[in-house]
Amino acid sequence: METDAAQVLADIFNNIDLFALVFLRLVGFMAIAPLFSGPTFPAMAKAGFGLSFAALTVLSGAVTAPIITGGLVEYFAVIAGEFFTGFMIGFIVYLMFAVFYYVGQLSDYQIGFSMVSVMDPMNQVQAPITGNLYYFVFLAFFVVSGGLRGVLLQLFNTYELIPPGKAFIVGNTGLLAHVFYMMGGYFELGLKIAMPVIAAIIVIDVVLGVLVKASPQMNVFAVGMPVKVGVGLIIMWLMAPVMEDLMYRPFEERLFQNLYDVIRGLAPIP
């Protein structure tokens, strides 16, 4: 057992430059990816996970060290490219989760919760109440169903299409355009999720407007706010049984397709 451990350490030490590049790609991923990027994930756990992932990747033989002939400048360019590659993969995952804050913001604005926000412990920012609820529900679905494992597997598989130092970054306008297209698709899907609450509140606003015309002395604010909050909560309660089909499966399917598209976009041109 001690001999095997010593051999593993020797293999890693002999490939320390490759190990550093693999680790940097994972650092870029963890810098923005949900669950890893928040301060609630201990720094020691991040370091341990990153070093373990890098060691297993190097020992698997799935990645080979790049040939660097340009000296220190080229090596730093390779380092930056590895970090950016991991960051882009983490950004696609982050973008999917950020949409739930957008959905919550739309819902809270309609039902009157926009004046209240809570601290998001993962990102240390003020977040809408409903958005925080959707975010953590989806995060639970994502981890329990194996979505996180699938993303890490995609990250590991990037070395087949994007060897260290070979990422196509400079002048990659096609990838940039595709990322903006994906952002539009995510926000469109988020708007569809929030649409039942928005539509119900619009109907209530129309009804209240008619009542004000019929009875000008009625205090619309005193009547309208409780009605909007109650109807909004009822709509979200009615949506709860179909929440998985409504928001998880479409996002998961789109996520892995978008991850594959981004990895293909970063792959070097043959």
The DSSP annotation for 63-87 comes to -------SHHHHHHHHHHHHHHHHH
Domain limits, the chain? 2-112+124-265
Instruction: Residue 108: name the closest of 234, 8, 198, 241 by CA.
Output: 198
Q: Do 29 and 86 contact (CB within 8 A), yes or no?
A: yes
| Prediction pTM value | 0.80
Q: What is the pLDDT along the chain (270 residues), one digit of tens a residue?
A: 445 656 666 666 666 777 888 888 888 888 888 878 777 777 788 888 888 888 888 877 777 766 666 667 777 888 888 888 889 888 888 888 888 878 877 777 777 666 665 555 555 566 667 777 778 888 888 888 778 888 888 888 888 888 887 877 777 788 888 888 888 888 888 888 888 888 888 888 888 778 777 777 767 666 777 777 788 788 878 877 777 666 666 667 778 888 888 888 888 765
